Amino acid sequence: MSAVVLVIGGSRGIGRAVVRLLASSGRRVAFTYRSDEAAARGLEAEFPGAVKSWRFDLADRPAPGTLVREVEAALGPIAGLVNNAAIRRDALLAATPDADWDAVIDANLGGPFRCCRAVLPLMISRRQGSIVNVSSLTAVRGVAGQAVYGAAKAGLIGLTKSLAREVGRRNVRVNAVVPGLVLTEMVADIPTEKIQALRAIEALPSGTLPEDIAGMITYLLSDGARAITGQAFLVDAGSTA
């Protein structure tokens, strides 16, 4: 039996590309979605028996524990976790209400924290596991209007590095992928002029596709990356070159 990977936020964009690549390579994949059940069912139908979805809300604090138990009962032991789901509430910091700060930090940093906490006892006891946290270029290169989102995603890199130190002796690896601008549903509301400004700093004319991020994530989950932990890999078409 192939190992199970749990992808948090897998019904669209980068997450969908991750699910497809993992399933195509023979992995069994559990993934979550928040609201688009039709998209989730469609992705399941592409890989009958190998892919299964669960409705999941990052803000539901007890949910990760229940999710992990259900996934293992349905598909088998979880060997990989991808924390990909996120929310954005862009605004200038001076105009950001406490409620938006709390929601973004809790979902984008608290959610991965709780998902890691839910799978780690099992990975540690089995002495096997790989966790990949999906950060953002905003964490390392500021974007006006995304101070809250950037703070959460920068915190995710910090969590990655310290957690890698905590669990490495148990053969559990923790890394982060830092995507540049990827034109997915999540950024559909960003004004065209801001998209053009972000594209202008890229060194490669092709930009970054969801499949490019999925390739890095899949590699970090694999045995080929067995000596890599505590790292944050930029996949940004050279934006930070």
Positions marked catalytic: 149
How far apart CA 126 and CA 171 sit, in angstroms, is 9
- 3-class DSSP state for residue 69? helix
CA-wise closest residue to 172 among 220, 219, 111: 220
List CB contacts of 82: < 8 A, sequence separation 6 or more: 5, 6, 7, 8, 10, 15, 18, 131, 132, 134, 217, 221
For residue 130, give Cα distances in angstroms to 23, 95, 148, 174.
17, 39, 27, 6
